Amino acid sequence: MTDWEERYRKGDMPWEKGEAAPPLAELIERCGTQYFGEGPVLVPGCGLGHDVRALASHGLAVTGLDLAELAIEKAKAIQPTGAESYEVGNFFDPVWQDGRKFSAIWEHTCFCAIDPKDRATYARSAAEVLIPGGYLTGVFFLTPHDPGEEEAGPPFGAAPGEIESYFSEHFSLVDSWVPKRAYPGREGKEWIAIFRRK
């Protein structure tokens, strides 16, 4: 199991790009904020909070969640853009989930970072904290590693059909596409998917 706190302390953060995910900007340009509801929006595995602040800048109340205390400490130290907040916590923990309801979840780096055996737990956790009709919208890694390279994760890739299978019990797929905008090196390796809570 990855020690995320230790990786932040060592500065071993290849996922940290210093800006919000380009596919998130593409999604908002294409669809506005319709797939985020009235808020609040949850961003699990938020890291330093770039996506949190990008969403908050559009007038949404957004909660960034991360296991790593140092990540949250660093996120809180950055100038806010709106109604964002940050918490240290475990998205999978029923105690953390208890009583919480969100209109949407933005997924960026959490699903690909967890052990693939925990993906069904991720889907159940998302269903638990979303209101009926709420959206799980995200950009998922399809092929984070080059062909022929051993897939040692995280990040762990997945095919669109596989991703959909994890969510199908609780969610319906509304729309999906391969984003044109990406961090350098991720072009064509990601999939935007919009799931609606049944």
∠ CA 2-78-19, rounded to 5°: 65
DSSP letters of 74-111? HHHTSPP-SSEEEEE--TT-HHHHTT--EEEEEESSST
Strand, coil or helix: 123: helix
Residue 120 phi/psi, 5-degree rounding, is -65, -35
Q: Predicted confidence band at 11 (pLDDT cuts at 50, 70, 90)?
A: confident
Please enumerate in sequence order all residues whose Cβ is within 8 A of that of 113, keeping only pairs 6 or more positions apart, or say none. 2, 15, 45, 153, 154, 155, 156
Total Cβ atoms within 10 A of residue 152: 8
| Residue 170: exposure state from Cβ atoms within 10 A (0-12, 13-18, ≥19) | middle
Give me the mean pLDDT over the 90-118 stretch: 95
Which amino acid type is present at position 24? Answer: L
Query: pLDDT value at position 162?
Result: 94
The pTM of this model reads 0.92
The residue-averaged pLDDT of 91-99 equals: 96
Number of neighbours of residue 185 by Cβ within 10 angstroms: 8
Q: Which domains does the chain have, with CATH numbers?
A: 4-197 (3.40.50.150)
Q: How confident is the model at residue 53 (pLDDT cuts 50, 70, 90)?
A: very high
Span 158-164, average pLDDT: 94
Please tell me the predicted confidence (pLDDT) of residue 18.
Answer: 83
Asked whether 72 and 66 are in contact (CB, 8 A), the reply is yes
